[in-house]
Chain A
Amino acid sequence: MISRLFDLVSRRIDGPLMVALVLLVSLGLTVVYSASGGGSFDRILGQARNLAVALAALWVVANIPPQTLMRLAVPAYAIGLALLVGVALFGEVRNGARRWLNLGFTTIQPSEVMKIAVPLLLAWYFQRHQEGLRLREYAVATVLLALPVALILRQPDLGTATLIFASGFFVIFLAGLSWKVIATLAAAGLASLPFLWGMLHDYQRRRVLTLLDPTQDPLGAGYHIIQSTIAIGSGGVLGKGWLNGTQAQLDFVPERSTDFILAVYGEEFGLAGVVVLLVLYLLVIARGLMIAANASTTFARLTAGAITLTFFTYAFVNMGMVSGILPVVGVPLPMISYGGTALLSMLVGFGILMSISTHKQLVSS
C-alpha cells in the first residue's frame, strides 16, 4: 500500500534531477531566512508555501505525457499572447512598468506564462515541420518568438524579455539553424546596437552605463552593484558565517532577499558557498541536457534542451549581474531568491523535463 503510494508519487519524478533541485531549494530557504534579517519565520513560511505549490505543479506536469503537453503548446501560447496584448491595453502600472493584468479575483503577470509557452510552441512548430527545415521555417519561428518578446520589452521588462528570447533562441538553435545564419544575425545584431541603444529606456541605459562604471553614480543606480560587490568580496573564501554578513544584515545590500540574494549568500558563505552553488547548478544543467539528448521526439528534445539552457541563462545572468559583470536586469537567482512566480514557472519547466525523461519508453515502444 505504502509502496504503491510511493510509486504513484515518484513514478514520473527524475531522481537525480529531483535530488539536485531539493538541495538547491533547501539552500535557498536557508539564505532567504538570513536575508530576511533572521529571527523571523514569516518569509520562510511564505517561501515554503510557494515551494509547496510549485512542487505540486511540478508533480502534476511531470505526470502529463509529452504528447499532451505538445497539444497544449498552441493554446498556451495563444492565451499568453492574448493576455500580453491585454496588458498592453489595460495593464496595471506598478513602479513605472505595465506588467500586471487584473483579472478581478487575482493579478497575474502574463509574461510568466510565456516562459513555458514560448519554448513549447517553438518545439511544437519544429516537430510539425521536421521534414525538410528550410530558412522559411526558421523565419516563422523567429516571428513567433519576436511577438511576445516585443510586447514584454514594451512593458518594459528587460529581464523577462531576455529570458524569453533566450528560451526561444535555444529552441531555434538546437533545431539546427545554420551557423552561417547565426553568424550573419550576430553581425547584424552588433551593427544594430547603436539603434537598439536609442530604443532603450533611460533607466535601462543607466543600468548598462552603471555596469561599465558603477562609481559614476554611487548613490543612485550604481549603489546596488557597489554594495553587492562589497558584500561578496568581503565574504572571502569561507564567508562571514550564516546570519553574520554585515552588508546583508545591516541593509546595505538592496533587494537582498530577491534579485540580490547572491550577495547575501556570497558574503555569508564565501567562495566555498559560491562553488557549491555553481556545482549544484551544473548538476541540474548536466542532467537536463542528458534528458534532452535521450529524448525520443523532436518536440521533447527541443523542449528539454531549451528549458535546461534557459535555467542556465537565469543563473548566469543573475550571478553575472550581482557580481558586477552584467547589467542589472530583474532576474532572480533560480531556486534561491524569494518569490513564488519565478519558482513556479521554473518548477513547471522541470516538471516538463521529468515528464520527458520518464515517458520516453512508452513513446518509443
Chain B
Amino acid sequence: MTAGHALRDQRRELNVFRTRLTVAGLAALAAFGVLLARFVWLQVAQREHYHTLAEANRISVVPVVPNRGIIRDRNGEVLAANYSAYTLEVTPSKAGNLERAIDALAQVIEVAPRDRRRFKRLMEESKNFESLPIRTRLTEEEVARFAVNRYRFPGFEIKARLFRSYPHGEVASHAIGYIGRINEADLRRIEADKAAANYKGTDHIGKLGIEGAYEKELHGITGSEQVEIDAGGRAIRSLSRSEPQSGNNLVVTLDINLQRVAEEAFQDYRGAMVALDPKTGDVLALVSKPGFDPNLFVDGIDPQNWDALNNSPDKPLNNRALRGQYPPGSTIKPFMALAALTTGKRTPEYTISDPGHWMLPGVSRPFRDWKKGGHGMVNLHRSIVVSCDTYYYGLANDLGVDTIHRFMTPFGFGAKTGLDIDGELPGLQPSSDWKWQRYKQKWYAGDTISVGIGQGYWLATPMQLAMAVATLANGGTPVRPRLVRAVQDARTQDVRELPVRAGDPLDFKAEHLALVKAAMIDVTRPGGTAMRAAQGAPYLVAGKTGTAQVVGMKAGEKYDESRVKEQHRDHALFIAYAPADDPKIALALLVENGGHGGSTAAPIAREVFDFHLLGKRPPGRQKLGDEEGEGD
C-alpha cells in the first residue's frame, strides 16, 4: 500500500465522517425544532387550558359548616344546643384492613362494643369514600394518645366537630325531635330542594319534630374557604374565606318545666297529652309517653339501642299525641250538645228519662248506657255532667251522621290540625260519603248511634281534641296550634314573632256555648265525673271525661274491669281548660289502658293546671286510678 493511497483513503474517510456529522447535526437541529414546536403548543396555544388545570389542582374549596341554631323554650331554657367535641373518623376506602385497624386502635384508645356496632351500621348505610365516626367525644388525653400513633392508622383522622345535645333528654323528645346523619332519603330531599351546595360538609340533618320541620331555619348558610393544597391534599394556606352564617335560633311555645311536670304526672302509664294556649294555639306541652333519649340518635344510634326502641311493645318512638288515633269517647259530648242547640234539635230544657239503654226503632239490640239502670231524668246540662250515653244516642239519631260531620269538621276533627311539625295523622270524622267511598257501603242509622258517643268510626288524635277544646275555651275561634313562636335571626339577633293563625269564628250562639261551658264546669265539681280535676283548686276548671274502648263488648256482656288484662283495659280520656272564666290553658289527654277518665286522666290535668296557673309543683303523688272511680 503506497503513502499516496493511504492519504487518499484518509481524505475519503474524513469526507464520509464530515458528511455523517453534518447529517447528524441537522437531525439534532430538527429534533430540537420538534421540541420547540411542542413547547410552543403547550405553553402558548394550550396555556389557558393547562393554567385552568393547574389552578384546579392547587385550589380546593372547603365548605365551612355553619353552627346550627339553638332551640329554646318560651322561658329561654335551652332545649337543643351545640357543643364542640373531637371525633375520630375513618374513611374506609383508605384504611386497608378495617377490622385489624380497629383492633389496633382499641389498644390505643377505648373502642367499646357499642362503638363497633354503631360503626358497622353506619358502614352499611354509607358509601365507602365517606368519612365515618368510629369514636365520638374523645377526651384530650385520647386525642393526644391517638396523635402519637397516628402514622399507624392511615385513613383515620381526628376532627373537631359540633355536636347537638338535648340537655333535657327524654323530656319533650317527641316535640323537639333530633338530628341524625344524612341518609339516602335526606339526600334526595336536599337535592330536590336544590340545597345540595348548602349541605356540602354538613353530615347531620333534622330528622323529626322541630329539628326536622324547621331544618331550613336551623341549618344556616354554609360558608366556604379556598385553600391551597399540595398534591397530598394537605392544606398549605387559606386563599380566601367566606364566613358561614349560623342557623337561626328558635323560640318554641313549650314550657319545658310544665312539660316535665306533665310527663311525670303520667307516672308509668303510656299516653299522650297536648296542652295549648287557647288564644294563640301555642303548644305549652306535648307529651307522648314513653319517650326516648334523642341524644342517642345524634352520632348514629347503635343497633342495640335501636332495637330496644323500635321493638318495644310500648312503642316509644310513636308520637301518640299526633299519630295516636283513638275513639274520642265521651269527650265529644260537649260538642254534640252544642250541635244540638245550634241545629235546634234540642232545647236546654228538653229532658229524657234514662232507663239505661236506648232502642233504635227497628233494631232489637239495645244501645246500653255505661251506667246500669240509667241516670234518671236527664236534660242537656246533666247529660254532660253525668255523661249520659242514652241522651246522646237519641240526639245522634236525630242529627244524622252528616250533620254531625258538618258541625265537627270546623273544630278540627277529621283533618290534620296544621301543627308546624310533621307526622300528624288526620283521625277520622265519619260521614255517609266517606263510608261509601271507603267501603262502598251505605251508612246505616245504627252507625250513627255509636258515633254520637265518640265511638264507632270516629277517631281523633290527642292533638285534635286539644285544638277542639281550645276552640270551645276561646269562645269559638279555631286557632292553628304551633310549636315555634319566634325565630331569632342569627346575625342581627332580631326576634321575628311568627303570626298566630286564627281561623274564622265558628257559627254558633254565645248563649249556647255558655250552657255547654257551665255544664263542663260542673263536670269537675262534686257530682261530676271529674271531681278530682278541681277539688280544692282556687280556679275554675271546665272539662269532660271520656273512655275509649279497646275491646268491643258484645251486646249484653258485662264489662268487668278487674278481669280484663291490662292492655285490654279502656283508654282514659280527659279534655279540660282553666281557669274556666278566663282560659289560659286547654288540654286533651289520654292514658292508655287507664280505665276511667275521671280517676286516671283528670288528676294529671290537675297537676298540669296547678303548675301552669299557680306555679305549684305537685306534693307527694298519689297513684293514678286508685280511687274507686265510677263514670265515663
How far apart sit A230 and B38, CA to CA, in the bound complex (Å)? Answer: 13
How far apart sit A309 and B229, CA to CA, in the bound complex (Å)? Answer: 42
B25 near A285: Cβ-Cβ < 8 Å: yes
Chain A nearest CB, measured from B301 CB (Å): 37
Could you show 7 A-B contacts with beta carbons less than 8 Å apart?
A230-B53, A250-B57, A266-B43, A271-B39, A293-B17, A301-B14, A302-B17
Contacts of A292 in B (CB 8 A): 21
B54 near A246: Cβ-Cβ < 8 Å: yes
**Does chain B have a CB within 8 A of A278?**
yes
Interface string of A300-319 (1 = CB under 8 A from B): 01100100010010001001
Closest Cβ neighbor of A133 among chain B residues: B13
**Does chain B have a CB within 8 A of A334?**
no
Contacts of A319 in B (CB 8 A): 35
Contacts of A155 in B (CB 8 A): none
Quick one: which of A62-102 are within 8 Å of B by CB?
A: none
**Does chain B have a CB within 8 A of A116?**
no
A5-13, A198-206, A232-240: which one contacts chain B?
A: A232-240
A234 near B32: Cβ-Cβ < 8 Å: no
Closest Cβ neighbor of A271 among chain B residues: B43
A309 near B28: Cβ-Cβ < 8 Å: yes
Task: From the candidates A233, A266, A271, A274, name the one contacting B51 in the complex (CB within 8 A).
Answer: A233
Contacts of B39 in A (CB 8 A): 232, 266, 271, 274, 323
Chain A nearest CB, measured from B456 CB (Å): 70
Chain A nearest CB, measured from B26 CB (Å): 10
Closest Cβ neighbor of A132 among chain B residues: B9
Interface string of A273-285 (1 = CB under 8 A from B): 0110010011001
Closest Cβ neighbor of A267 among chain B residues: B54
**Does chain B have a CB within 8 A of A242?**
no
B50 near A131: Cβ-Cβ < 8 Å: no
How far apart sit A301 and B57, CA to CA, in the bound complex (Å)? Answer: 50
**Does chain A have a CB within 8 A of B362?**
no
Given contacts A174-B17, A174-B21, contact A233 B43 (CB under 8 A): yes
A173 near B50: Cβ-Cβ < 8 Å: no
- Total count of chain B residues near the partner, CB < 8 A: 41
B230-238, B396-404, B465-473: which one contacts chain A?
A: B230-238
B20 near A234: Cβ-Cβ < 8 Å: no
**Does chain B have a CB within 8 A of A270?**
yes
Interface of B is mostly: helix
How far apart sit A235 and B41, CA to CA, in the bound complex (Å)? Answer: 12
Given contacts A174-B24, A246-B57, A316-B35, contact A233 B50 (CB under 8 A): yes
**Does chain A have a CB within 8 A of B346?**
no
Quick one: which of B43-60 are within 8 Å of A by CB?
A: 43-44, 46-47, 49-51, 53-55, 57-58
Query: Across chains A and B, which 5 residue pairs bring their CB atoms closest together, nearest first?
Result: A233-B50, A234-B54, A251-B231, A250-B230, A233-B42
Quick one: which of B585-612 are within 8 Å of A by CB?
A: none
How far apart sit A309 and B51, CA to CA, in the bound complex (Å)? Answer: 35
Contacts of A232 in B (CB 8 A): 39, 42-43, 50
**Does chain A have a CB within 8 A of B36?**
yes
Contacts of B31 in A (CB 8 A): 312, 316
Chain A nearest CB, measured from B225 CB (Å): 17
A325 near B34: Cβ-Cβ < 8 Å: yes
13 additional A-B residue pairs with CB within 8 Å, beyond A250-B57, A250-B231: A174-B17, A230-B57, A231-B54, A232-B42, A233-B47, A233-B50, A234-B50, A252-B54, A281-B32, A302-B17, A305-B21, A305-B24, A324-B38
B21 near A236: Cβ-Cβ < 8 Å: no
How far apart sit A170 and B27, CA to CA, in the bound complex (Å)? Answer: 12
Closest Cβ neighbor of A311 among chain B residues: B28
A250 near B236: Cβ-Cβ < 8 Å: yes
**Does chain B have a CB within 8 A of A19?**
no
Task: From the candidates B14, B38, B47, B57, name the one contacting A252 in the complex (CB within 8 A).
Answer: B57
**Does chain A have a CB within 8 A of B16?**
yes
Which of B25, B228, B236 lies at the interface centre, i.e. has the most chain A CB atoms within 10 A of its CB? B25
Task: From the candidates B17, B35, B53, B228, name the one contacting A323 in the complex (CB within 8 A).
Answer: B35
Chain B nearest CB, measured from A184 CB (Å): 17
A274 near B43: Cβ-Cβ < 8 Å: yes
Contacts of A270 in B (CB 8 A): 43
**Does chain A have a CB within 8 A of B40?**
yes
Quick one: which of A171-221 are within 8 Å of B by CB?
A: 173-176
How far apart sit A349 and B57, CA to CA, in the bound complex (Å)? Answer: 41
Contacts of A286 in B (CB 8 A): 25
B57 near A305: Cβ-Cβ < 8 Å: no
**Does chain B have a CB within 8 A of A47?**
no
**Does chain B have a CB within 8 A of A344?**
no
Given contacts A173-B20, A176-B16, contact A275 B57 (CB under 8 A): no
**Does chain B have a CB within 8 A of A229?**
yes
**Does chain B have a CB within 8 A of A247?**
yes
A130 near B13: Cβ-Cβ < 8 Å: yes
**Does chain A have a CB within 8 A of B1?**
yes
**Does chain A have a CB within 8 A of B514?**
no
B28 near A285: Cβ-Cβ < 8 Å: yes
Contacts of A131 in B (CB 8 A): 1, 6, 9
B32 near A233: Cβ-Cβ < 8 Å: no
Given contacts A174-B17, A236-B44, A285-B28, contact A325 B38 (CB under 8 A): yes
B47 near A236: Cβ-Cβ < 8 Å: yes
Contacts of B230 in A (CB 8 A): 250-252
Closest Cβ neighbor of A176 among chain B residues: B16
Given contacts A232-B50, A236-B43, A251-B231, contact A316 B32 (CB under 8 A): yes
A301 near B53: Cβ-Cβ < 8 Å: no
**Does chain A have a CB within 8 A of B406?**
no
**Does chain B have a CB within 8 A of A289?**
yes
Contacts of B49 in A (CB 8 A): 233
